[in-house]
A = this chain, B = another copy of it.
Amino acid sequence: MINRIKISELGQHIGEEVSIAGWVDVRRDHGKLIFIDLRDASSKVQMVVLPAHEGAVETAQKLRPEWVIRVTGAVNKRPDKMIKEGQENGDVEIEVKEIEILAEAKELPFDKDSELNFDTYLDYLPLTLRREKARAIFRVQAQILKSFREFLTGEGFVEFQAPKLIGDDAEGGANSFDVEYFGHTAHLAQSPQLYKQIMVGIFERVFAAGNVYRAEKHSTTRHLNEYTSLDIEIGFITDHTDVVKMEMRFLAKIMEDLKANCAKEFALFDADIPNVPLEVPMMKLRAAQQVIKEEFGEDCSSEPDLEPQHERWLCEYSKKKFDSDFIFISHFPITKRPFYTMEDQTDPGYAMGGDLLFRGVEITTLAQRIHDYDMLVASMEKKGLNPEKFSYYLQAFKYGMPPHGGLGLGLERLTAKLLGIENVKEATLFPRDLNRIDNLLSK
C-alpha cells in the first residue's frame, strides 16, 4: 500500500502525519475517548480517537478485535510521565484522523490472550499463531534456517532439493508412509540420507533443508510425523570429528545471529541463547556410561544406547564439568546403527559417529559413512538388506566415492530446546500427528 509505514518505524516519524495498517488488538472506550491498540507484523502501538474527528469516531465504535484497518493519523510523542517503559512504542501515541476498514472479523471463539488447552490451540492455529509468543517461535525458526544456509554456502556447500517421494523404503524401517503412485506403492522419505551421499559425488559438500516423514505411531511431546530436517554431507573428511567440528561452527553462527536478531523473542520465553564451544566435549559411549555409573549411580554399561534419563545426566555432567550445554557421545555399537555407518577399525564393533546432546536431549545423529562399494554391499547384507534394491544409490560408490560423513538436525526440536518449549509440536507450524492433520482426523 502506498505510503504505509511499519508500526516499528513510528519513532522516526514523530510529529508527522502517517498512514499505518494492521489488526485491531484491543479497543477500550474511556468516556469520550476511544483507545485502540493496532498490531502489524512489525510491532504494536496505542492509538487514540478524539471526539473532534467525527468520522473516525463513528468507524472506531464499530471496531472489534482482529478487524483489519488502515489509519491516517499524527504521531505524537507522549509526555515524559506518560511514557510506558519497556513497552513497544511506549513513547508514542497515534492521534487518529481517519480509519478505513479493510476487513471485518467475526466474534472470536475465545479471549485473545486466554490460556488454552493445547488441542484447542492447535484447532485454531490460523488465529492462535497471531499471538506474540507464537510469532516469536517462528521468527526464531526462520532465523535458524537462514543462518544455517548462509554459513554452509559460505563454506562451499551446495544446496539441493532432495526428493520426498521415493521408490523403496530405503532405510529399512516399518516407519514409512505409503503413497499410491500410478498403480505402484511409493513412500515418503524418512530422510534425504541416500541422496545426500549421492550428491557428495557431485559437489563434495551439500546440504538440504526439507520435510521428512516418520510413520511412528507415537503421540508424545517429542514425536512428529512430518518435520523439517537440516541435513549436511561432507566429502574428503579425515573422520567423523570433521563433521562434529562443522556442526559446532554452524551452531555457533546460528547462536550469534539469534543474539543479534532475536533477543526480543528469547526474552518473551525467558530463554538463554547458549554459547557454543568450538571444541565440544566428546566421549565414547562406554566412557559416558562409566560417568553415569560414577556420578549418578546407575549401571547401564552394557546397554547399546542411551535412555532419555541418561542423556539428561550427561548434559548435566557436561554443564558442570565443562561448562558446556553440548556434549558429543560417539562409538555406539555398530549393530545398532544404519547400514551406511562406518565402523571404527581401531575399535571394532563401534561406530565412527554418534549423537550430539543439547540441554538433555539428542539433537543430531552424525557419522562417517562407508565409502567403499564392497564394504557397503557387505554391510547391507549383514543387516539383511538386498543390495539390488539399492542399485541406484550404489552407483555413487561403484564409480568412486571419497571418505565422507554428515548429520541431520531436526529444526523444530532445536527451536523448541532453544526456547525451552516442552512440546515440540508447539515449535512446529502445522504439526501432523497420529490424530491430527490441521483440525481433521480426530473429528
Taking Cβ atoms with an 8 Å cutoff, the residues of A that contact B are 1-2, 4, 6, 21, 23-24, 40-42, 66-68, 102-106, 108, 124-127, 129-130, 134-135, 138-139, 141-142, 145-146, 149, 153, 156, 158-168, 177-182, 184, 186, 188, 195, 198, 201-205, 210-211, 213, 215, 217, 225-226, 228, 235-238, 371-373, 391-393, 395-403, 411, 429-430, 432, 434, 437-441
Contacts and interface: CB of A to CB of B under 8 A. Distances in A.
A199 to B, nearest CB: 8
A214 to B, nearest CB: 11
B153 A146 contact: yes
Contact of A164 (B68, B156, B211, B238): B211
Given A103-B372, A400-B23, A225 B165 contact: yes
Contact of A203 (B41, B396, B434): B41
A361 B293 CA distance: 67
A179 B182 contact: no
For the residues of A in contact with B, the DSSP-based class is mixed
B177 A178 contact: no
A160 B42 CA distance: 17
A142 B158 contact: yes
Given A106-B373, A126-B399, A161-B228, A167 B441 contact: yes
B211 A400 contact: no
Contacts of A158: 41, 138-139, 142
For A6, A156, A432, the residue with the greatest tally of chain B CB atoms inside 10 Å of its CB is A432
A169 to B, nearest CB: 12
A213 B181 CA distance: 11
Nearest to A168: B440
13 contacts: A6-B156, A21-B402, A24-B400, A40-B204, A105-B399, A129-B198, A164-B226, A165-B432, A167-B437, A177-B179, A178-B180, A182-B215, A391-B439
Nearest to A181: B177
For A23, A67, A181, the residue with the greatest tally of chain B CB atoms inside 10 Å of its CB is A181
Contact of A126 (B198, B429, B432, B441): B198
B399 A160 contact: no
B437 A403 contact: no
A198 B235 CA distance: 41
Contacts of A124: 395
A186 B179 CA distance: 9
Identical subunits present: 2
Nearest to A138: B160
B68 A401 contact: yes
A78 B322 CA distance: 53
A294 to B, nearest CB: 35
A85 B232 CA distance: 36
Contact of A204 (B41, B204, B393): B41
Contacts of A106: 373, 398-399
A437 B186 contact: yes
A202 B124 CA distance: 13
Given A395-B124, A434-B182, A138 B402 contact: no
For A158, A161, A165, the residue with the greatest tally of chain B CB atoms inside 10 Å of its CB is A161
For A105, A165, A166, A399, the residue with the greatest tally of chain B CB atoms inside 10 Å of its CB is A399
Given A202-B138, A400-B68, A41 B163 contact: no
Nearest to A170: B438
B181 A437 contact: yes
5 nearest interchain CB pairs?
Answer: A105-B400, A66-B400, A167-B440, A167-B437, A41-B204
For A106, A168, A202, A237, the residue with the greatest tally of chain B CB atoms inside 10 Å of its CB is A202
A402 B102 contact: yes
A398 B106 CA distance: 6
A400 B180 CA distance: 38
Contacts of A437: 163, 165-167, 181, 184, 186
A205 B41 contact: yes
A33 B256 CA distance: 52
Nearest to A438: B392
A103 B178 contact: no
